[in-house]
Amino acid sequence: MVGKPSEISITQISVEELAQRLSSADSSLQLVDVREPQELAIAHIDGFVNFPLSQFPDWADHVNTRLNPHAETLVLCHHGIRSTHMCQWLIVQGFTNVKNIAGGIDAYSMLVDPSIPQY
């Protein structure tokens, strides 16, 4: 998982579109946050499951049993870089509908919900 992004094309979703999707209460969405626990303690969006990238060896072998590889999966981080890496890795694992949340929780806080702290 470590290294530069490869040539896999990643679909992006805007934070505004994320807000619309969250308000629709679509239960088929899988929401993944790859930030560290200390980051989640500062700012988080309800409904996201946490897979911290620093703990990759602890959860990598179980991701296919914890997530549905065919469900729409939206991936979040602070600015959108780590989540892009996670999206690429999920696609390699056979996930078929993965989207990166462009701008991450930082953009979500600025453009959608200013009550979420910035850091």
β-strand partners of 74 = 31, 99
pLDDT over threshold 60, residue 2: no
The C-alpha R_g of the chain, in whole angstroms, comes to 13
Distance between CA 81 and CA 34 in Å, rounded?
10
Domains annotated on the chain, with CATH: 11-111 (3.40.250.10)
**Taking all residues of the chain, what is their mean pLDDT, rounded to a whole number?**
93
pLDDT at residue 81 tops 70 = yes
Rounded percentage of the chain residues whose pLDDT exceeds 90: 87
Q: For the purposes of burial, counting CB atoms within 10 Å of the CB of 59, is it exposed (0-12), middle (13-18) or buried (19 or more)?
A: middle
Give the length of the chain: 119
- Looking at 74, 75, 77, 91, which residue is catalytic? 77
Is 87 an annotated catalytic residue? Answer: no
User: Is pLDDT at 21 greater than 50 in this prediction?
Assistant: yes
Please tell me whether residue 79 adopts helix, strand or coil conformation.
coil
> Which of 19, 31, 11 minimizes the C-alpha distance to 74?
31
